Amino acid sequence: MEIIEGIYKRKSIRKFKNEPVKREDIIECLKAACQAPSPKHQQNWHFVVIQNKELIAQIAKVVEERHQEIAACAEDEKVQEKFMKLMKYYTLFKNAPVLVVVYAKPYFMIEEKILKSNKAKQEIIEALKSTQSAAQAIGAAVENFLLTAMQLGYGTCYMTGPAHAKKEVENLIGTVSEEYELMSMIAMGVPVEELPAKPERLELEQVVDFID
Ligand SMILES: Cc1cc2nc3c(=O)[nH]c(=O)nc-3n(C[C@H](O)[C@H](O)[C@H](O)COP(=O)(O)O)c2cc1C
């Protein structure tokens, strides 16, 4: 499949068949993820691949509990209800045969070090950090993963929603190391036949300006 064709065809898949995913295919996706650009080539990502059904179910349970906890914080019942309706978007991975947990290491910026040690204004340091370069690299890596998975016949969903339970998730799966932070998850599996259409995109004119 051509790259451009793949980009247009990819859509988020939230329902999976009860079929296994080959380890070699997961590795192919991970290799593609690692081909992504990263700031100063720091390759600040780490992936934890979970195929243990019981563990995936436990993770979904802690995410569900945290979701309920957050809903309960809302005083307005309608807001509570609305948030609870979103639960399926946070726990969709519970029926996926593969869950990839994606971590990022902070992006080390020499500029920040220079500015800090020379007592630069906090606002200059903040401007530098506002690009969230570490997270941007994760986005690039995940997109490579998703596109490769699709080419291999799998469906995926990129998720940050469940990260609201990152502590609880890490209690279950352990931490990579202290410097790594859980950023997102990828649900992966063979997609069911009946799938909703890919959502429409904004018109290019709404999101693009040309300066000649
Ligand atoms: C950073 C990021 C986080 C996302 N988190 C979730 C999520 O937690 N749950 C979910 O169901 N979809 C999640 N999505 C998928 C988006 O909802 C989806 O990409 C968007 O609606 C466009 O649909 P498409 O992927 O089918 O083109 C996320 C996507 C991105 C890029």
Is residue 160 in contact with ligand 1, taking CB distance under 6 Å?
A: yes
**C-alpha of residue 105 to centroid of ligand 1, in Å:** 22
What whole-number distance in Å separates Cα of residue 208 and Cα of residue 21? Answer: 39
Is residue 116 in contact with ligand 1, taking CB distance under 6 Å?
A: no
**C-alpha of residue 119 to centroid of ligand 1, in Å:** 40
Question: What are the domain boundaries of the chain?
Answer: 3-207
Other residues' Cβ atoms within 10 Å of the Cβ of residue 97: 20
Q: What are phi and psi of 178, to 5 degrees?
A: -60, -30
Q: Which amino acid belongs to residue 131?
A: T
Which tens digits make up the pLDDT trace of 69-82?
Answer: 999 999 899 999 99
Q: Give the mean model confidence (pLDDT) for residues 130-145.
A: 96
Structure token pair of residue 156: 């995926």
Binning the chain into helix, strand and coil, the percentages to the nearest 5 are 55, 15, 35
State the sign of the Cα–Cα–Cα–Cα dihedral 189, 190, 192, 196: positive
Atom of ligand 1 lying closest to residue 11 CA: 26
Q: How many helices (H) and strands (E) would you count in the chain?
A: 10, 4
Is residue 83 in contact with ligand 1, taking CB distance under 6 Å?
A: no
Tell me the CATH number of domain 3-207, given options 3.40.50.800, 3.40.109.10, 2.115.10.20, 3.40.605.10.
3.40.109.10
Is residue 89 in contact with ligand 1, taking CB distance under 6 Å?
A: yes
How many residues can be counted in the chain? 212
| Range name among 69-73, 150-154, 184-188 with the lowest pLDDT average | 69-73
> What's the mean per-residue pLDDT of the chain?
95
Counting Cβ atoms within 10 Å, is residue 70 exposed (0-12), middle (13-18) or buried (19+)?
A: middle
Which tens digits make up the pLDDT trace of 29-67?
Answer: 999 999 999 999 999 999 999 999 999 999 999 999 999
Is residue 201 in contact with ligand 1, taking CB distance under 6 Å?
A: no
**C-alpha of residue 31 to centroid of ligand 1, in Å:** 22
- Largest Cα span, the chain: 59
pLDDT of residue 175: 86
Residue 1 has pLDDT above 80, yes or no: no
Structural element, H or E, at residue 3: helix 3-9
Other residues' Cβ atoms within 10 Å of the Cβ of residue 141: 26
Q: What are phi and psi of 100, to 5 degrees?
A: -105, 125
